[in-house]
């Protein structure tokens, strides 16, 4: 089946024309667009469709777009962009049915299309291929999804907003962070800690609590993205190391909470833009220790496979699979 798939975000938009067979996705044409250079999505799509026609490519039979933003009504507003996507109007333009799904749901769909080299295993566990799967991913926010197995094969993706659940500190140090976050936001959620902005917040809390970062880290955090500055300085700056260690522990703890909710013996997958850049930190033991630390359920947690998703186009693959299945 020939499908059109997209991964639409505030920074970039990826579009592909692909052939889908089962869980296999073969890209035929792929193009990246800077989202901010287009006033609306429709002219961007028109450009891509024109390029397909000029290249003599086949027309898609269906389309699916993974969109950064809440998906629930007939139209979808893209987060951090003025774009409003109307699937009915887009279907007329594309000449095929268009489905809109949340971008993290697209990531969850894409798990089925990954090859072994697309994964880095943190815990092999005791996998059950037909078991429930779960996906968690820190980026601008903190996404969660559950993949429930179907009797006829494949999985149904169940979205979640668990990132907005209340953050539960694991010790007195994290309790201090919780109080600091609550004073600023009125409450403290997991997304306030386990996300790009969350890593930056951990750094600022440490500094306000008396930690003294090196001059290079302090300058980089003040002039740019604090999370990126912490990641870059983690090899030599003690404050960056402490911030990253707390972040990784909280990430593992919340991944464990998601696993307790659905028992994903088919695997828990750590996706999102941050994880591949922190493979060293995630592999250091803190993540899996926090993941397993669930009291009487520790033995169960040790049997759950845990993998980091390395393929940055997993959302695009998932949108293609969702278009091909139409579910």
Distance CA 222, CA 229 (A): 9
Is the separation of the CB atoms in 129 and 153 below 8 Å?
Answer: no
Q: At CA 43, angle to CA 3 and CA 25, rounded to 5?
A: 20
137 is in an annotated binding site: no
16 is in an annotated binding site: no
**224: exposed, middle or buried (C-beta count within 10 Å: 0-12, 13-18, 19+)?**
exposed
136 is in an annotated binding site: no
Distance CA 26, CA 29 (A): 9
Strands of the sheet containing 2-8, edge to edge, are 24-34, 12-21, 2-8, 62-67, 98-102
7 is in an annotated binding site: yes
Which is nearest to 270 in space by CA: 262, 258, 261?
A: 258
214 is in an annotated binding site: no
For the chain, where are the E strands, in sequence order?
2-8, 12-21, 24-34, 62-67, 76-77, 84-85, 98-102, 119-123, 133-138, 142-149, 155-160, 267-271, 306-309
200 is in an annotated binding site: no
| Binding-site sequence positions for ATP | 6-11
Q: Give the annotated binding-site residues.
A: 6-11
């Amino acid at each position: 089946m020939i499908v059109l798939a997209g991964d639409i975000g505030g920074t970039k938009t990826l579009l592909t024309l692909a052939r889908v067979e089962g869980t296999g996705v073969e890209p035929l044409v792929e193009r990246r667009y800077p989202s901010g250079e287009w006033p609306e999505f429709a002219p961007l799509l028109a450009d891509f469709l024109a390029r397909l026609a000029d290249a003599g490519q086949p027309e898609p039979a269906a389309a699916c777009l993974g969109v950064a933003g809440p998906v629930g009504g007939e139209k979808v507003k893209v987060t951090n962009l003025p774009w409003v996507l109307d699937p009915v109007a887009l279907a007329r333009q594309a000449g095929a049915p268009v489905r809109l799904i949340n971008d993290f749901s697209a990531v969850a769909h894409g798990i089925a299309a990954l090859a072994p080299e697309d994964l880095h295993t943190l815990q092999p566990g005791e996998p059950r291929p037909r078991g429930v799967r779960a996906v968690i991913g820190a980026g601008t926010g903190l996404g969660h999804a559950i993949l429930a197995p179907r009797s006829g094969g494949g999985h149904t993706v169940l979205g979640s907003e668990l990132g907005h659940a209340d953050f539960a500190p694991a010790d007195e140090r994290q309790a201090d962070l919780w109080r600091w976050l609550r004073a600023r936001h009125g409450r403290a959620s997991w997304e306030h800690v386990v996300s790009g902005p969350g890593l930056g917040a951990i750094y600022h809390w440490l500094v306000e609590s008396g930690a003294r970062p090196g001059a290079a880290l302090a300058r980089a955090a003040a002039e740019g993205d604090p999370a990126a500055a912490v990641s870059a300085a983690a090899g030599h700056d003690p404050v960056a190391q402490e911030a990253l260690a707390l972040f990784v522990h909280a990430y593992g703890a919340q991944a464990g909470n998601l696993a307790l909710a659905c028992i994903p013996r088919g695997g828990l997958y750590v996706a999102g833009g941050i994880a591949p850049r922190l493979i060293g930190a995630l592999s250091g033991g803190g993540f899996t220790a926090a993941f397993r630390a669930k009291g009487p359920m520790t033995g169960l947690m040790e049997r759950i496979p845990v993998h980091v998703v390395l393929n940055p186009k997993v959302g695009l693959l998932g949108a293609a699979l969702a278009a091909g299945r139409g579910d």
